[in-house]
Amino acid sequence: MTPTRREFMKTMGAAIAASQIPDAKARAVQPSAGATALSPRRKVIYDQDLSGPFGTDLLATLMMLQADNIDLRGITLVTGDAWMKQEMAYALRLLEMMQRTEIPVYPGAEMPMLNTKEEWQLRQQLYGGHRLDPWMGAFNRVNGGPDAVEPLAAPYDRFAKLQPQQEHAVRFMVRTVRENPHEVAIYAGGPLTNVALAIALAPDIVALTPEIVVMGTGFHAFTNTFNMFFDPEAARKVLRAPWPKLTILPVDLAEEIHEDDELSPMHRMIGEIAGRAQAPIADLFRIHAVQALQRKPGTRLFRMADEMLAAQLIDPGVFTRSEQMYVDICTSPGPRYGDAMFWRKDWQSLPAEAAPAGASEADRRVFVDPSQFYLGPPPSAGLVNVLLEADHARFKKLFVDVMTAPRQPSPG
Amino acid sequence: MHISTDLLAHSSAFSPSSNAAPAATEKKKLIYDQDHRGPLSTDTAATLMLLQAGNIDLLGICTVTCDMWAKQETAYALRLLELMGRPEVPVFMGAEEPLLNTKAEAQMRYQMFGSRTLGNEGYLGCFAKNGGSRDEVEPLPAPYSRFAEIRAQAESAADFIIRTIRANPHEVTMYCGGPMTNLALAVMLAPDIVPITREVIFMGGGLHHSTSSVNVYFDAEAAKIAFRAGFPKFTLVTTDLAEQVHMADDSKVDAIVDHAHAPIADLFRLYEQAPQRANPRRQSFRMPDEMMAAHVIDPSIFGGADDMFVDVVTHNDGHYGDTSFWDAGWQQRNTGTPLAGQNNPARKAGRVQVLRDIDKRRFRDLFVDLMTRPVPGGAR
């Protein structure tokens, strides 16, 4: 019997039925034969605002499911692009369709720490809207509330029989990192609410996490990005923590991929995947990319932010330049609530620039010698690894290879 | 000095005593969350009141960094329970840092915007320049004398709060005598506890004496989360009310030193009577946390409460942590005038009951009575 919407909703409430999902540890650790030689197999907690039926969140999820060097210990969900319960409905059914029901899915934060839809709308009225990134995700005007779970679009066709875990996403994160010290990387593709709560509750996990990868912030495209401004307090908390390695994918780099001549408008890549991939990946691309483009030719597809972030764990060689920088997030609830600010790590030893022709001796001293200025970060800012350049061809090949690879076998 | 933080580790050898207090049926179930400053302070005095009161079922003590760092507070709380002969009360160490505020920023805000002026409480707790650091645990002075043998629980304070409220729906009162970091984390992790919490009582904020106090501006984000959460009943002791009674008033201290038992008599002799005699012009502290305890033990001491909205400023500037209040009946204010309906609260402000009009005589009597009651298991 396929669960009805009402039945599915029932299981999403406080009394989530006991899990029937086998222990994730039972999963085979042998990479499948014929796989591309990538970085060594890594344990990953995958934290995502998994908005369905298609899109950057979902495609990144498919990459993590398909990559044979990723040992996915669990998917943790957070409200962001969609409400957490709706994301849960898509995540569970996606795992069923991918025949990967051994992967546990954990319900996480349904609301940001402080931000609210009503105050966001009031801020827009008071300070003006976000000209370049008006997306409000779960807080979009057309969206229902946290409990409104809509039926799933094709090819999902119905709600899953698979149940979410009873354990909260935050507790799962804390427990898993502690049980596998220095082994589990955290992928954070949405607002950082779950991660912030985990490190507030258990600060010891920061030092035990070998790498956390985060999507968000920006320099030039824009400085205020969704995952940060949806929950700025959580973002500040996470970016400031002394992780052994926090890698950030700024929007500037993500913007390059859908604008890149070789890929734009990505039709060729989409067609390739729709033609070569197995179900349900082929169906997803056929329905939500190929047919969408046929209906509206010339559509500009979304940048591949979360997919690139997945590449940092699957094949970090995609990225050709990164830099250690200080970062902080503005949490004053004004017009710049959620803005990212960066400072150079080497701000104390920047070389003096050549003086412009005709500069006076005073100008030469004041304007071109960095030692004349305070160029450093504010107290408590975080030091992070910022991805700055990517090998587009390598990323594209990785993406197509992973999408068209045979489905990863489920244990048992 | 640095010592091993081992004293805070869980000891499975410890278990609650079997001869726990009987007839808990009409006792009020209480989670006591406190920035537990030792050796004696408004925090400690409130702890003593709740340990001595016969109508309180103290489910657990949670600590939180503010007046001191949480490890030091936990050391004081554990040893105090031993001295009071109450080792069965479990202690849970809570948040060691506020959600976002940092010592460096607190210091820098004071440089940039000036400290809060006197009425607005310049006090920064352990974020003061000489406030030590989070892993330093100093030895405990007399009458504590040494570190406790009992240990803190392994469970975090936030987890304990969630588990306990869920296990006792509509029965647990949550006492927050410090910043609400632990409660905010519990609410974020388990929003379902909000409607099944009987009451939250908190000390912080103000309307006239000051517009804030350390429990709010030490962790403004946590206060905002907790105020806004929508608890069925949220009772507030403001600085305005707390200022009405100070420890040195009404010769309380001498009466306690003369009639109390160990270790209470020693604490008041060493840390209230002696400094007051050495410096008669010393301004003793107000009694905010004792008032909260009094509200839990005997709410009739207070002359009712004002129904109000409250919200907290979280801008990272000189107003970080300020509280704003509005009348719950703002829609009825100024009716028939052009000002009608203009005193609205912030869109997401929380609803609080602001205690007013304390009966000072009864408060003094209750306090002295509790402090001078026998301490059955008390050790010198």
Confidence of residue A411 (pLDDT cuts 50, 70, 90): low
Residue ranges making up the domain that contains B264 = 27-372
Q: Residue B309 has which token pair?
A: 């909205």
Residues in a beta bridge with A387 = A322
Among B188, B193, B194, B219, which would you mutate to test the A interface (most chain A Cβ atoms within 10 Å of its Cβ)?
A: B188
| Chain B hits for A14, Cβ within 8 Å | 192
Does the residue A409 lie in any domain?
no
Q: Can you give the pLDDT at residue A290? A: 85
Backbone angles phi, psi at B379, to 5 degrees: -120, 140
Q: Can you give the pLDDT at residue A291? A: 87
Q: Can you give the pLDDT at residue A380? A: 92
- Of the candidates B99, B105, B348, the beta carbon closest to that of A200 is on B99
Provide the number of structural domains found in chain B. Answer: 1
Nearest alpha carbon to residue B42 among B290, B367, B365, B331: B290
Cα dihedral: A168, A172, A173, A178 (round 10):
140
| Chain A hits for B190, Cβ within 8 Å | 168
Kindly tell me if the per-residue pLDDT of A353 is higher than 80: no
Residue ranges making up the domain that contains A270 = 36-345+380-404
> What is the CATH number for B344?
3.90.245.10
The residue type found at A302 is: F
| Chain A hits for B225, Cβ within 8 Å | 113-114
Does the residue A360 lie in any domain?
no
Kindly tell me if the per-residue pLDDT of A11 is higher than 70: no
Residues 6+ apart with CB under 8 A from B369: none
Q: Can you give the pLDDT at residue A50? A: 97
Q: How far is B316 from chain A (nearest CA, A)?
A: 6
> What is the CATH number for A184?
3.90.245.10
CB pair distance less than 8 Å for A331 and B100 = yes
CB pair distance less than 8 Å for B105 and A200 = no
Does the residue B229 lie in any domain?
yes
Does the residue B164 lie in any domain?
yes
Does the residue B22 lie in any domain?
no
What residue in B sits closest to A200 (Cα-Cα)?
Answer: B99
Does the residue A31 lie in any domain?
no
Instruction: Return the percentage of chain A with pLDDT > 70, whole number.
Output: 85
Q: Is A168 exposed, middle or buried (0-12, 13-18, 19+ CB in 10 A)?
A: buried
Average pLDDT over residues A8-14: 50
Average pLDDT over residues A147-171: 95
Rounded Cα distance, B105 and B99, in Å: 13
Q: What is the largest CA-CA distance in chain A?
A: 83
Q: Can you give the pLDDT at residue A133? A: 80
- Of the candidates B100, B189, B191, the beta carbon closest to that of A170 is on B189
| Chain A hits for B192, Cβ within 8 Å | 14
Cβ–Cβ under 8 Å, residues A284 and A54: yes
| Strand runs labelled E in B64-132 | 91-93
Does the residue A206 lie in any domain?
yes
CA-CA distances (angstroms) from residue B223 to A247, B50, B60? Answer: 31, 24, 21
Mean pLDDT, 10 residues at a time, over chain B (380 residues)? 43 38 70 97 98 98 98 98 97 98 93 77 90 94 96 97 98 98 98 98 92 95 98 97 94 96 97 95 93 98 96 93 94 85 92 96 98 86
Q: Can you give the pLDDT at residue B4? A: 41
Does the residue A283 lie in any domain?
yes
Provide the number of structural domains found in chain A. Answer: 1
Q: Tell me how many residue pairs between chain A and chain B have CB atoms under 8 A apart.
A: 69
In chain A, residues 167-206 whose CB comes closer than 8 Å to chain B: 168, 170-171, 193, 197, 200-203
Kindly tell me if the per-residue pLDDT of A100 is higher than 70: yes
Q: Can you give the pLDDT at residue B24? A: 44
Interface predicted TM-score (ipTM)? 0.83
Rounded Cα distance, A247 and B269, in Å: 56
Cβ–Cβ under 8 Å, residues B148 and B355: no
Cβ–Cβ under 8 Å, residues B69 and B133: yes
Rounded Cα distance, A215 and A340, in Å: 12
A380: contact with B, CB 8 A cutoff: yes
CB pair distance less than 8 Å for B105 and A380 = yes
